[in-house]
Structure 1
Amino acid sequence: MPCPGRLVLERIDPLIFPGIVSPHVHTVSGGSGFGFETSYAQQRASACSSCPVKQDLSAYWTPKLYYMGKDGSYFEDVPQAGEGNGVTGGMTVYYEQRGPDPASLLAFPEDFRMIAGDPFQRNFTGQQAAPGYAVSFVCLDYSGTSSYSTEMPNQNCPDGLRAQVYFPSCWDGVHKDSADHKSHMAYPIGGHYDNGACPESHPNQTISIFYEVIYQTDLFADRWHSPEHHPFIFASGDRTGYGFHGDFINGWDVTALQSAVDTCTNDSGNLADCPVFADLYSDAECQACKLPPSVAEPTTGNLTTLPGCNPVSNGPAYENPITTCPVTPIGAPTQYFTDLTSALGWEYVGCANDSMAERTFQGASTSSNTMTIETCIAYCKTSGFSLAGLEYGSQCYCDDKYYQDPSGPRSPVPNVLGDCWQPCAGDGKQVCGGSAALSVYKSCEGGKCVGNDLFRVNGSSSAATTTTKRRRHLHGHGRVRL
């Protein structure tokens, strides 16, 4: 299951650090019900997913990888495969029917969650101790021979570095979670982390899941400080790679997953060959499924320190968690629109899809290197139209209706943030759509503005609780004020 987009990139981890800011940055894919606290019900209420299977609204996340300047002088984010020009990189999640009796494999139950790997591990644990070979790396070379290792390799990888983590598949059959989020699960016995029989303590075998994340380390091939050691570091401060890890919170329609486990046995591995998954989100829909960050700190670009409190660690000693870090508050979600209901009588209604072949708004258009939202609204109002859409920072389109696309509606999807992220050419503090994406404003004349109910949140509770509610409601159900 290739997940072509990411949901959010920030210090968030509701499994290990519920209700507070996580110590290090994670890249998250999956259902938009995700928040600083989340549940099975919340994930099932997601309005969209950055992964294609509509019956799967689970949450999947792994640590961010950075390039480290010489002597830790600065840190620069390493893009994931497919990332760039506003497109976010995702991951691939495999669901594998492994074990001595594939016919008896179980889907994950409701409220199930687990982790694989340990962010503080800094050496190889051996074949018999987790995670062992369950965490590994492949140095990709598509024109030659790719190489495998259990640590980040000290060689340039011509086509990027693939990080891998295999989850345990043996369940105790009772607990859907545990205090360490591991003890209710176990790897198969016999020294094979990815196959084999289950131990008596954990006799129930589930479907196996396995994450792959490809980092574009090849972009830094000419920036190695030493040919003897790679210049990369995970968000947790780990330079060894042994601390790579994955987190999973189940958001599946359990009946659908069990049906797929039982019936989808085509060796092709293609989602299209599984009739249970007849209706999939498109790549564009996956890319449009995003959450606004709520931790007020940069996580990309050139950083003087790793976000959080994460000293550089080369191992081999186990890295104990830092307990003296200052508390970082959860803030208001980043706002990707400008509220002009009071000032101009036009309200933001969301991010709409566009196409160069057949424009969503066809009434009138203009472009300017000084474009702002106010400029576009004024142009559309003077031209006699009630809808204004801004795209690609400098373009403005007007109409009274949305083009009816045979392949699906062009109008904004309620509770889906979309791909509107690009700063306006005339005001970098405003957002003017994106590539093939329109920031849409609607005239309130002749009617009542609803006050951007789908994009504004009210709240007077604590930051953690308020932000959780924001995310739950914005991408889950109902109309709330953002």
Structure 2
Amino acid sequence: MHLRKFSAIALLARGIQAAAVLRFGCSQIVVERLDPLVNPSDNPSPHVHQVVGGNAFSALIPQSDVSELANCTTCTFSEDLSNYWTANMYFKARNGTYKRVGQIPNRFLNGETGGMTVYYTGAYDGSKVTAFKPGFRMLAGNATQRTTGGVTKWNAICFRCYNAKNFGGDNYAPCADPSVDSVALPNKMCPGGIRTTIRFPTCWDGKNLDSPDHVSHVSYPASGTFENSGPCPSTHPVKLPQLMFEVIWDTAPFNDKSLWPADGSQPFVFSQGDSVNLRANSTGYGQHGDYVFGWKGSALQNAIDAGCFGATCNKLKTQTFAAANKCAVPKEVKEDVEGWLTELPGGSMGM
């Protein structure tokens, strides 16, 4: 179903006014152990990330206007030179070796190479949202999380197991259906892959572009959720667009019972480790997303104010994926992250 038609139906069914929703693909630009947000200048950082967006990505990204540092992007909109990244998923085979899981490009779009789909959503009640400012950055999730905790409070991070029939048809309803969405990694084989949804805080203190923990300068709503127009807390009064990542992990190539643990337990693990101890199954609770803003000028604000929908917007410059996929950064960490590995890059727990 076409995105505009599907979204309108979904919103009307929920009694919510339609909002601007930029929804676009970004190809992978690099997969390696760098994290300029949490571990700036560290080469390598503790665990592997899969990164999309502008070519300013490096072990250290100066806290300045990233749109002036990068000169190309792997994203649909050429004015978006931001960087978006998540922990990468690995498959742990019965023999104890690990293999990186790739990403399936979103099937609503065409031409991506791995990567993810990025959303920026305006307020459902029509109220003003303020676009991020040059130098802004933030984090969603916590790599050390091993219990549900805040993962579920705002429907911030969840997983969905796709089968071959329903894949891609319900992408606009993240974390909304407890019959198919879970805060833990699915414990069964998923023919269509596993979707990760990561939703970022939507309220800002209006002053700080970052904070030591990359979280304190932003907040989720004081009550309710962004979707039901929950108010921002007084400490963080500025309403932001809702940034959301959607990654679909291509788990199908590993759906071989002879490779799975003999007891049939969940074999997928994120690159930071994500289990309570070496003997416990991976939970998925530690999945997280990082964001460094890099849109040019007022492009993002203009697109949201104009109510743009999907991957086309007459306020923005669109590029083909043939052009986007030419954008690249040199790999800085010299290690194998693709073959069958005896441990996760960075150590058996990736921390």
TM-score range, shorter chain: 0.7 to 0.9
Q: Which has the larger radius of gyration?
A: 1
Shift of 1:82: 4.1
Contact 1:53 1:281 in 2 (8 A): yes
Task: Name the residue aligned to 1:249.
Answer: 292
Q: Per-residue displacement from partner, 1:348-389 (whole Å, max 9, x unpaired)? A: xxxxxxxxxxxxxxxxxxxxxxxxxxxxxxxxxxxxxxxxxx
Task: Name the residue aligned to 2:245.
Answer: 211
Structure 1 counterpart SS, 2:325: helix
CA distance in 1, matches of 2:149, 2:249: 24
Matched, 1:169 2:202: yes
CA distance in 2, matches of 1:17, 1:250: 17
Structure 1 counterpart SS, 2:315: helix
Query: Could you list the runs of 5+ residues in structure 1 that have no partner in the other structure?
Result: 313-321, 323-482
**Residue number among 185, 202, 220 corresponding to 1:152 in the alignment:** 185
Task: Name the residue aligned to 2:81.
Answer: 57
Contact 2:151 2:285 in 1 (8 A): no
1:307 to 1:58, Cα distance in 2 relative to 1, 3 A = same
Task: Name the residue aligned to 1:275.
Answer: 314
Contact 2:105 2:116 in 1 (8 A): no
Equivalent residue pairs, number: 301
Matched, 1:143 2:165: yes
Q: What letter corresponds to residue 295 of structure 2 in structure 1? A: W
Pairs within 5 Å for 1:121-132: 121-125=145-149
CA distance in 1, matches of 2:288, 2:310: 26
Task: Name the residue aligned to 1:221.
Answer: 255
Structure 2 counterpart SS, 1:179: coil
CA distance in 2, matches of 1:42, 1:203: 25
Contact 1:106 1:261 in 2 (8 A): no
1:270 to 1:127, Cα distance in 2 relative to 1, 3 A = closer
Shift of 1:214: 0.5
Pairs within 5 Å for 1:78-477: 78-82=101-105, 88-98=113-123, 100=125, 102-125=126-149, 133-143=155-165, 147-192=180-225, 194=227, 195-222=229-256, 223-226=259-262, 228-238=264-274, 239-265=282-308, 269-272=309-312, 274-277=313-316, 279-311=317-349
CA distance in 2, matches of 1:285, 1:75: 33
Q: What letter corresponds to residue 338 of structure 2 in structure 1? A: T
Task: Considering Cα pairs closer than 8 Å and 6+ residues apart, tell me whether 1 or 2 has the greater RCO.
Answer: 2
1:82 to 1:96, Cα distance in 2 relative to 1, 3 A = closer
CA distance in 1, matches of 2:325, 2:120: 22
CA distance in 1, matches of 2:140, 2:88: 16
Contact 1:33 1:44 in 2 (8 A): no
Structure 2 counterpart SS, 1:94: strand
Shift of 1:105: 0.6
Contact 2:142 2:287 in 1 (8 A): yes
1:121 to 1:91, Cα distance in 2 relative to 1, 3 A = same
Task: Name the residue aligned to 1:18.
Answer: 40
Shift of 1:88: 3.6
Contact 1:28 1:60 in 2 (8 A): yes
Normalization by structure 1: what TM-score?
Answer: 0.59
1:126 to 1:257, Cα distance in 2 relative to 1, 3 A = closer
1:121 to 1:216, Cα distance in 2 relative to 1, 3 A = same
Contact 1:28 1:59 in 2 (8 A): yes
Q: Per-residue displacement from partner, 1:9-50 (whole Å, max 9, x unpaired)? A: 100110111111210000010010111111333443312101
Query: Could you list the runs of 5+ residues in structure 2 that have no partner in the other structure?
Result: 1-22, 107-111, 171-179, 275-281
Normalization by structure 2: what TM-score?
Answer: 0.80
Shift of 1:120: 0.7
Instruction: State, as a whole percentage, how many aligned pairs show the same letter.
Output: 38
CA distance in 2, matches of 1:118, 1:254: 30
Q: What letter corresponds to residue 111 of structure 1 in structure 2? A: G
Measured on the aligned residues, the alpha-carbon RMSD in Å equals 2.2
Shift of 1:254: 3.9
Shift of 1:106: 0.3
CA distance in 2, matches of 1:241, 1:127: 10
Structure showing the higher helix proportion among its residues:
1
1:128 to 1:240, Cα distance in 2 relative to 1, 3 A = closer
